[in-house]
Amino acid sequence: MLITQLKTADEIKSLAGSKTVIISCEGCKEVHFPAAAAGELQKDLLGSGTASKVIRTEYVCSPENLSVQTKKHMDKLNAADTIVVFSCGVGVQSVSEKFAGKPVFAGCDTLPLPGYQGVTPLEVDCDQCGECYLNSTGGICPIASCSKSLVNGQCGGCKDGKCEVDKEMECAWDRIYKRLDKLQLLDSMKYPAKLRNFAPGS
Amino acid sequence: MRISELFARGEFVLTAEVGPPKGFHLDHLLHEAEEFLQDVHAINVTDCQSSVMRLSSLATCKALKDKGLNSIFQLTCRDRNRIALQSDLLSAAFFGIDNMLALTGDHTVMGDTKQAKPVFDLDSVSLLHCVKTLESGVDLAGNELDGEPPKFAKGAVVSPCSDSVDVQLAKMERKVEAGAEYFQTQAVYDSEKFIRFMEKAKQFKVPVQLGVIIPKNAGMANFMNNNIAGVSIPPEIIEELKADKEKTKAGVTGVEITARIIKECKDHCQGVHIMALGWESKVPALLEQAGLKGS
């Protein structure tokens, strides 16, 4: 089980561009999703003209399903300057992989709940760390994809784009840098030293 | 003494590195340091280098200090959480050790104790931030320290010859912002690459020491090329090491190559950091050939 918790309205509004499309992933039985509060916020973004469309869907975590679900909205999505995703961390990463040339931001933080997680085998992972980093890392998770879960950039162990731990494993921070470079968002990496919060329930 | 003061005076700062033993007998290390490393400004002590369990960097720094040698406390984030890191920094201050070098550290699976939990509660950037926080008189929890806060020369590392050098430069900038006052580089074998790197790195306005490893033979060079991130040894150097096996075995070729790299790079940096990897005895000859003796 996991909980998705909305980021603050101010943060979400600051991420949205002028032609934002919102993908709102609903209906996953393992997730507690703050549907009412998210709906209010999405209505707000539509009303103010920052968002042009809300796509209500489910299971965007699965790349195949994401393709099926977004097929009829591709014109809007291609025209968007930003995509804001309301889902767990896996969903945001699946969307950012599919739309790698566009800034994809998370509208939620993902927190853990004990119990059954579901069984969908997927390429990407979410550690449910509760302080989603995806908005400053181009939609690639440094917690789940970096072998040291580093949050402040690449260590000295990257060789030919691969991790020192496993020559088959891509260096997450190499990917993050390249993605941000392509999106011309390298400045989003220039935050002050970040320290993870490991306090339970935080 | 803090090596940041030497950089501030415009000195060309020389450092060398020693690795503590697997055991608690330091006689050999101390003898070599006294015998061969008198001409460097400070001696780095590695922190369980390559994730191999050894005597601590802190104890070795203290032993060097007792011999009148200036040391640099290398601190990785691999084995300790932020409580232990802060505690060790205070312990270093207590011993009068006032140079530190912040590293993220190799992953535990790189070493001889693969079953160990990799910690990485902090990383090189947040560790620098942590030192700066302690220097301000509070700890990371925001609680006040008793008495005068510690003060360190805060160092960090960067890989100028990494195949992802732009990613390294981005991290370097973060380290500078977090408080890094000087940099030591991963081993350089390609002077042109280093000089190009320095052209970009000089915008950060922090002193950089060229890192060098004296190559022992072609096998070691090939090994580093294949396995050590950020190190790339050009084929000409490998050929040079192969040319006269006796000369190479005696360390003469390695010292010649390293001295040449230092001479090519020294006008572009603010010091040299020598990682002798057991060849501490070659350091005096290297300094002599590179024209750095008595500097």
Percent of chain B topping pLDDT 70? 99
pLDDT, residue B7, reads 98
Nearest residue of chain A to residue B122 (CA atoms): A195
Let me know: does B8 contact B35? Beta carbons within 8 Å.
no
| Separation between Cα atoms, residue A145 and residue A96, nearest integer Å | 14
Q: Could A160 and B163 be called an inter-chain contact, meaning their C-beta atoms sit closer than 8 Å?
A: yes
CA distance linking residue B270 with residue B261, whole number of Å: 14
The answer to whether residue B294 is domain-embedded is no
Residue B139 has pLDDT above 80, yes or no: yes
Does residue B156 belong to the interface with chain A, where contact is any CB pair within 8 Å?
no
The minimal CB distance from A159 to the residues B82, B120, B229 is found for: B229
When pLDDT is averaged across residues B15-25 and rounded to a whole number, the result is 98
B227 has a pLDDT exceeding 80: yes
Residue B15 to residue B12: CA distance in whole angstroms? 10
d(CA B241, CA B219): 9
Which residue of chain A has the CA closest to B174?
A190
Mean pLDDT, residues B270-284 taken together: 97
Work out the burial of residue A114: count CB atoms within 10 Å of its CB; fewer than 13 is exposed, 13-18 middle, 19 or more buried: exposed
Q: Is B122 on the interface with A (CB under 8 A)?
A: yes
Is B295 a domain residue?
A: no
Q: Let me know if residue B21 belongs to a domain.
A: yes
Within A48-193, residue ranges assigned H as helices are 63-70, 74-79, 89-98, 142-145, 172-182
* Ranges under pLDDT 70 in chain A: 1, 117-119, 202
Closest chain B CA to residue A186: B170
Confidence at B295, pLDDT banded by 50, 70, 90 = very low
Q: Which domain holds residue B200?
A: 3-289
pTM for the model stands at: 0.94
- DSSP-derived secondary structure for B182-242: EEEEEE---HHHHHHHHHHHGGG---EEEEEE----HHHHHHHHHHSTT----HHHHHHHH
- CATH classification of A2-134 is 3.40.30, yes or no? no
- Please determine, for residue B247, whether its predicted confidence score (pLDDT) is greater than 50: yes
For residue A64, give both structure tokens. Answer: 């195949």
Domain tally, chain B: 1
- pLDDT of B28 strictly over 50: yes
- CA distances to B28, B34, B37, B66 from B31, in Å: 5, 5, 10, 13
Sign of CA dihedral B194, B200, B203, B204: negative
pLDDT tens readout for residues B53-90:
999 999 999 999 999 999 999 999 999 999 999 999 99
Beta bridge partners of residue B46, listed in sequence order: none
- Chain A residues with CB under 8 Å of B101 CB are none
Counts for chain A of helices (H) and strands (E), in that order:
7, 9
Spell out the residues 6+ positions from residue B24 whose beta carbon is closer than 8 angstroms to its own: B55
Inter-chain touch B126–A152, beta carbons under 8 Å:
yes
B34 Cα to chain A: minimum distance (Å): 31
The beta-carbon neighbor of B125 closest among A152, A156, A186 is A152
**If you search the block for the tokens 């679900």, which residue do you land on?**
A69
- CB contact at 8 A, B238 and B218: yes
ipTM (interface predicted TM): 0.93
Among A164, A189, A192, select the one facing B106 at the smallest CB separation: A164
Pair A85, A106: CB distance under 8 Å: yes
Under 8 Å between Cβ of B3 and B99: yes
Contact (CB<8Å) B167/A174: yes
Give which of A64, A59, A53, A116 is closest to A91, Cα–Cα: A59
Please report the residues numbered 41 through 80 in chain B whose beta carbons come closer than 8 angstroms to any beta carbon of chain A. Answer: none
Amino acid making up residue A179: R
* Chain B residue with Cα closest to A143: B120
Query: Cβ separation of B82 and A161 shorter than 8 Å?
Result: no
How far apart are alpha carbons B103 and A1 in whole angstroms? 36
A12-29 pLDDT tens trace:
888 888 899 999 998 787
Q: Residue B210: its pLDDT value, please?
A: 98
| B193-212 CB burial, b ≥16 within 10 A, e <16 | bbbebbeebeebebbbbbbb
d(CA A188, CA A183): 11
Q: What is the average pLDDT across B119-145?
A: 98
The verdict on B230 touching A (C-beta cutoff 8 Å) is yes
Which CATH number fits the domain that encloses residue B172? 3.20.20.220
Given CA atoms B226, B227, B232, B233 in this order, what sign does their dihedral have?
negative
